[in-house]
Amino acid sequence: MLQVGDQAPDFDVLDHHGNHVKLSDLRGKRVVLWFYPKADTPGCTAEGCSFRDLNAEYKNKNAQILGVSFDTQAENAAFAEKFGFTFPLLCDTDRKIGLAYGAAESEKDEYARRIAYVIGEDGKIEQAHPKVDARTYPAEQLKSL
C-alpha cells in the first residue's frame, strides 16, 4: 500500500461510460478512491449504495468518489445502472491501478482488495485504508474529510 504523503500514481483509464478518467485532471479536488472486488455482489453493492446516497455531501466537501474494480466496462455499466450510481466506476481490467495502489499483487489477481485512499487536492495520499468495512466505510470516510 501507498503511505500518507506519497505522491498518488497517476492513471488514465476508462470508466463505465467509456470516458477517460485521469487522476491528474482532478487536481484541486480531493479524491476518494475505493477499490471493490466485484460488481453487483452484496458487499460491493452496500458500499456503492452508501457512496451513492452520500455523494452530494462528498461533493459539498470538494471530494470526487471513484470506484475501481477489475470488472469490464459492461459489468460496471450494468452495476451502475442497476443501483443508480452517479460517480465513475473505473474499469481496471489490466490491473495497473490495482498494482500501483496495492489492491493487487499480480496481473493475474481475479479481484481487487477492498481498500481505499483519500488523495488530496495536491495529488498526495492523505489517508490510506488497508481494509475497510463495506457497510460503514462511506459514512465514516465522509466524517473524516
Residues noted as catalytic:
44
Q: How many residues does the chain have?
A: 145
- The amino acid at residue 116 is A
Residue 69: how many CB atoms within 10 A of its CB? 27
Bridge partners (DSSP) listed for residue 30: 63
Strand pairing of 63-69 and 125-129? unpaired
